Chain A
Amino acid sequence: MTPFDFARADTPAQAAQLAMAAGASAKTRVAHPSRFLAGGTNLVDLMKDDVERPELVIDINRLALSAIEELPDGGLRLGALATNADTARHALVAERYPLLASAILAGASPQLRNAATNGGNLNQRTRCYYFYDTAAACNKREPGSGCGAIGGVTRIHAILGATEQCIATHPSDMCVALAALDAQVHVTGPQGSRVIPFADYHRLPGDEPQRDNTLHVAELVTAIDVPPADFGRHTTYLKLRDRLSYAFALVSVAAAMRVDANGVISDARVALGGVAPKPWRVPAAEALLEQATASRELFSRVAERLLQGAVSQGDNGFKIELARRAIVRALTQAAEGRPQSQSDKRIA
């Protein structure tokens, strides 16, 4: 671990102020010489590998951002510093957003979920091997150095949204559910506070693969709002991985829909994880489900539309067919009101 300065912030304004000051006096030319430290499960790990070498670590654990509160419209506000574990087991989350609870519980391990925070979950970095290997080229870690993954070992990499500069995936499960639920991210920084729709929070690599999201310098996530949802049992989080637990998704699907007494579907959402640089939604695919009734043929068409443009990088071509089948299965589960269990691993 490269030595760093340490500071504690007691308010979001103080955190932003420390980060701005660090930027002004940066010894290196990196864009963000400081890092906010919450649970540490990703940042500390990256610092051990010298992937992250902040000049200043700002401890934000004492900020009053741990609450999970009901909003006047019936939605929920998830504090950025509430842990993933506390969020998943919160009565209102479990009752109103079983999709979110299920996705959280599909990720990591109990120990990691006890430390990892909601804000940190959004801001975690990719688990691309070449990003972690400081001897390899990586445009995300070292802009302009190239991409070691392209032409390399690509089993875990993106089939959608990749560019010639970066083919890394976003690793989160929680974010896939938050994308499906149309969450909103509250952030605050030197220019004040703003709200970012979830679809606009994470970004595709474009010409700046080093930027995973649309946060400005010194901005801090303070909360995530989840709007009211009325899907009943018609949701599921289906995660496929190389072992039964404690592994990142090769492909995951968050599906939610309303189904009326005649079996007519409305308000359907499908988000994919493990396949792209951000949770992947395609409005045109979801529109195919509107006012339709469940059928394998319909769900296959939705899958085709979601995966339009999917390409193999060599080792990950299997993900295209795996994702196609996972989408059909998840939509079937959601339509029938049979959510995937995260402890009984048999696919429902």
Chain B
Amino acid sequence: MDTPYPQNQDTGVSAVAGQKTRSTLSLSLRVNGHVRALRVEPCVTLLDLLREQLRLTGPKKGCDHGQCGACTVLVDGKRINSCLKLAVTLDGTSITTIEGIGADGALDPLQQAFIERDAFQCGYCTPGQICSAKALLNENVARTRDEVREWMSGNLCRCGAYGNITDAVMDVLQSNPGAQP
């Protein structure tokens, strides 16, 4: 598989506590349900690993500084900015990207709601928006429109589809009557 990073003489070792290294480290991640044995240099972010090594280009490199949310993925079910996380610190975790949410012909309710509510224009921020909204539903923190807007504020949309994004998230929230804030 192509990788844009110059690979050192590949030792394939795991990080050993207390010992420093600049070489490639081995890493095991479960990505969208599949266990992947990987080798990365310490400087590689989760976002670059996903996009460049695993060719999962759903997570977007918008700002690369944790300011836009386009790179949002779930790590062990929690949403984070994948651009700010060094992959070597995530050994043994489970990653979900937009590619792991829904399937052709069986969209996730959030994906369906985004379509029905026209919750995107260019679509660039949408994978991050949906991953973020997926986590929001699990967190049980938002019930009202104000709360949804606040808890989706880590995802910018430069087309300005915020109103429709909020509508889409509210649709799914309200179809889950069991959820408590």
- Assuming the contacts A18-B20, A37-B89, A59-B88, asked whether A4 and B135 have C-beta atoms less than 8 A apart, the reply is no
A343 adjacent to B147 (CB under 8 Å):
yes
Please give the distance in Å from B110's CB to the nearest CB on chain A.
16
From B22, B84, B139, contact of A41 by CB (8 A): B84
List A contacts of B56 (CB < 8 A).
Answer: none
Task: Report if A61 contacts B (CB, 8 A).
Answer: yes
Query: Could you say which residues of chain B place their CB within 8 Å of the CB of A14?
Result: 17-18
The residue of chain B having its C-beta at the shortest distance from the C-beta of A46 within the complex is: B65
In the complex, which residue of chain B has the Cβ closest to the Cβ of A1? B43
Q: Are B17 and A9 in contact (CB under 8 A)?
A: yes
Partner of B65, one of A3, A5, A10, A48: A48
Give me the 7 closest cross-chain CB pairs, A-B, nearest first: A109-B154, A6-B42, A245-B153, A7-B20, A10-B17, A343-B150, A5-B20
Interface residues of B (CB under 8 A from A): 15-22, 25, 42-43, 45, 64-66, 69, 72, 78-81, 84-86, 88-89, 132, 135-136, 139, 141-142, 144, 146-147, 149-151, 153-155
Contact A110 B22 (CB under 8 A): no
B81 engages A111 (CB within 8 Å)? yes
Cβ contacts A to B, 9 pairs, < 8 Å:
A5-B21, A6-B15, A6-B42, A9-B18, A37-B89, A57-B86, A59-B86, A59-B88, A112-B66
Contact A110 B154 (CB under 8 A): yes
A residues whose Cβ falls under 8 Å from a Cβ of B: 1, 3-10, 14, 17-18, 22, 37, 40-41, 44-45, 48, 56-57, 59, 61-62, 85, 89, 108-112, 114-115, 244-246, 342-345
In the complex formed, the residue of A with least CB distance to B148 is: A343
Pair count A-B, CB < 8 A? 114
A27 to B15, CA, bound (A): 23
CB distance from B32 to the nearest CB of A (A): 19
Distance between Cα atoms of A245 and B147 in the complex (Å) = 11
Q: Contacting B78 at CB < 8 Å: which of A4, A61, A114, A344? A: A114
Q: Are A110 and B144 in contact (CB under 8 A)?
A: no
- Measured between C-beta atoms, what is the minimum distance from A342 to chain B in Å? 7
Are B154 and A111 in contact (CB-based, < 8 A)? yes
Q: Which residues of B contact A62 (CB under 8 A)?
A: 17
User: In the bound complex, how far is the Cα of B77 from the Cα of A85, in angstroms?
Assistant: 13
CB distance from B20 to the nearest CB of A (A): 4
| B89 contacts A40, C-beta separation under 8 Å | yes
CA distance A88 to B147 in the complex (A): 16
Residues of A within 8 A of B18 (CB): 7-10, 14, 17-18
The distance in angstroms between the C-alpha atoms of A4 and B88, with both chains bound, is 13
A231 to B140, CA, bound (A): 27
Q: Which residues of A contact B147 (CB under 8 A)?
A: 343
List the B side residues contacting A4 at CB < 8 Å. 22, 42-43
